[in-house]
Amino acid sequence: WLWPFDETKRKAARSWSTQLCLMEDYPEYKFAASQAQQFEWLNENYPSLFKRIQAKARTGQFIPIGGTWVEMDCNIPSGESLVRQFLLGQRFFKQHFGETCDVFWLPDTFGYSSQLPQIVRLAGAKYFFTQKLSWNNINTFPNTTFRWVGLDGSHVLTHMAPSNTYGAQCRPGELIDSVKRHKDIAYSNESLYLFGNGDGGGGPLRSMLERLRRMQSVDGLPQVRQAHPREFYEHVEKTADELVAWKGELYFELHRGTYTSQSNNKLWNRRSEFLLRDTELLCTIAQTQSGENEYKYPAQELTRLWKLVCLNQFHDVVPGSAINMVYRDSDRMYEDVFDSAEKLRNHAVACIYGDAELGTNLAVFNTTGWMRSSIITVPDHLSPAFILQNGNGVVQIRESDGAVITLAANIPGFAAHTIDPEDTQLMDEDMQLR
């Protein structure tokens, strides 16, 4: 990925304004665009252009598609993050375009988790499009149109464009190749054909639309017409009764290093996921214990933070395939997430426990769903109590920074516990400190 986020905002405006102009000259033309994040940027920076897009969406020419916040990576993010991608995306499309998306659109991601069919169905979609597995450099993926079955048995009707690209140039040879490469033509003799210049190239050109118009019904060529992707899937559902099924992960056999490149970025992603989960849990407890008049759940700020995390799960950011400038931007976003979420978490804890500095006991809360034992750092204001009142007569100090540490042992899941300085437990010799 060869440009920073700010350039993406400008590229979207340039490309989509060009497509709006083409729609005036080609009333049959239909243009699909994914990623709710791009639409939100457009609404913030180019509101008049966004309104023109909304108008064309109502006529059916401009098609918001995909249902997710960005076209995310599907290997590194947690299951909760995948759910948030759909939650944020579908909510945005419903609010600004009046409907959610029933086609999950992810043509360029580096492999697809077996969790996805279940999540896709629960998010209100039932169709899936990609073409990335056509780039496999070891095993050729055996299907074009099939039912993808997830771990729980949920399935989505899936199609991989047999043109093997999402940037076709509208040439006769590409249409012919789409028929030759269709691996499930015995069940369905139709396919999707994605055209236009990608990677900031502006999308479809006037010359492409002219060629498509001329190739609509030519002897020797497949018939081609402009349509909403939903029409294709609905027709397949009605006419293809014996599609094959693929169960489990859709593994991509080409791009390597996506679990290791830019390891710091991957670390910040995982820390953000854990931090936001803990923060939301504690804020919910604070809300239920304090009541609306005493504590207000910070829904707006938590949504903003989740949008930043989901943005950085874009399929060319968290896998490590973007330029250095992107990761400097990403570092600043994660710093914002950590700073804000920690403040929210600390405020929620203060509302749950009151003024913690008035007591000498150490309050511990296990935010996981299982019993935990962990070495914890005693806050500075409680350190004197743990040093003077320690019932074991031994105080354990971390060598790296001189902090007092203690063992929180066997804390039940989703439960609070207080540690009295006089009842502190010593750590076993095999417990390692870092």
As a whole number, the mean pLDDT across the chain is: 92
Is the pLDDT at 230 greater than 80? The verdict is yes
Which residues touch 267 (CB under 8 Å, ≥6 apart)?
none
Beta strand 62-64 pairing with 31-33: parallel
Q: Summarize pLDDT for 327-340 with one digit per residue, the tens.
A: 999 999 999 999 99
Considering only residues 39 and 433, tell me which one the structure prediction assigns the higher pLDDT: 39
The whole-number average pLDDT for the span 50-77 is 98
Cα–Cα distance measured from residue 61 to residue 224, given in angstroms and rounded to the nearest whole number: 17
Is the pLDDT at 427 greater than 70? The verdict is no
CB 94 within 8 A of CB 100: yes
Cα–Cα distance measured from residue 321 to residue 83, given in angstroms and rounded to the nearest whole number: 23
Q: Look up the pTM and report it.
A: 0.93
Query: Which has the minimum average pLDDT: 74-83, 232-241, 374-383?
Result: 374-383
Alpha helix positions (H), 320-425: 324-353, 383-388
Q: Which residues are catalytic?
A: 108
Alpha helix positions (H), 74-155: 79-97, 116-122
The whole-number average pLDDT for the span 207-211 is 97
Question: Which pLDDT value is given to residue 434?
Answer: 39
What's the burial of 85, exposed, middle or buried (CB within 10 Å: 0-12/13-18/19+)? buried
State the angle between helix axes of 324-353 and 299-311 in degrees (0 to 180), rounded to the nearest 10. 150
Is the pLDDT at 430 greater than 60? The verdict is no
Q: Summarize pLDDT for 288-332 with one digit per residue, the tens.
A: 988 667 899 999 999 999 999 999 999 999 999 999 999 999 999
Handedness of CA 117, 119, 123, 129 (dihedral sign): negative
Considering only residues 417 and 69, tell me which one the structure prediction assigns the higher pLDDT: 69
Strand order in the sheet with 155-160: 103-105, 127-130, 155-160, 145-149, 245-247
DSSP-derived secondary structure for 249-301: -B--SS---TTTSSHHHHHHHHHHHHHHHHHHHHHHHHHHHH-TTT----HHH
Amino acid of residue 248: G
Q: Which residue has the tokens 């006991």?
A: 361
- The torsion region of residue 249 among left (phi > 0), alpha (psi -120 to 50) and beta comes to beta
Q: Which helix (H) or strand (E) holds 148?
A: strand 145-149
Question: Which pLDDT value is given to residue 62?
Answer: 98
The two tokens of residue 410 are 């066997």
The two tokens of residue 241 are 């009764």
Which residues touch 42 (CB under 8 Å, ≥6 apart)?
9, 12, 13, 16, 49, 50, 53
DSSP-derived secondary structure for 209-226: HHHHHHTTT-TTS-----
Q: Which residue has the tokens 């390891």?
A: 263
Cα–Cα distance measured from residue 182 to residue 232, given in angstroms and rounded to the nearest whole number: 15
Nearest to 189 by CA among 148, 146, 236: 236
Length of the chain: 434
Q: Summarize pLDDT for 100-133 with one digit per residue, the tens.
A: 999 999 999 999 999 999 999 999 999 999 999 9
Q: Which residue has the tokens 């060009």?
A: 18
Q: Summarize pLDDT for 3-24 with one digit per residue, the tens.
A: 999 999 999 999 999 999 999 9
Cα–Cα distance measured from residue 164 to residue 177, given in angstroms and rounded to the nearest whole number: 9
Helix (H, G, I), strand (E, B) or coil at 131: coil
Question: Which pLDDT value is given to residue 285?
Answer: 93
Cα–Cα distance measured from residue 386 to residue 174, given in angstroms and rounded to the nearest whole number: 74
Question: Which pLDDT value is given to residue 424?
Answer: 66
The two tokens of residue 211 are 């060629």
Question: Which pLDDT value is given to residue 363?
Answer: 86
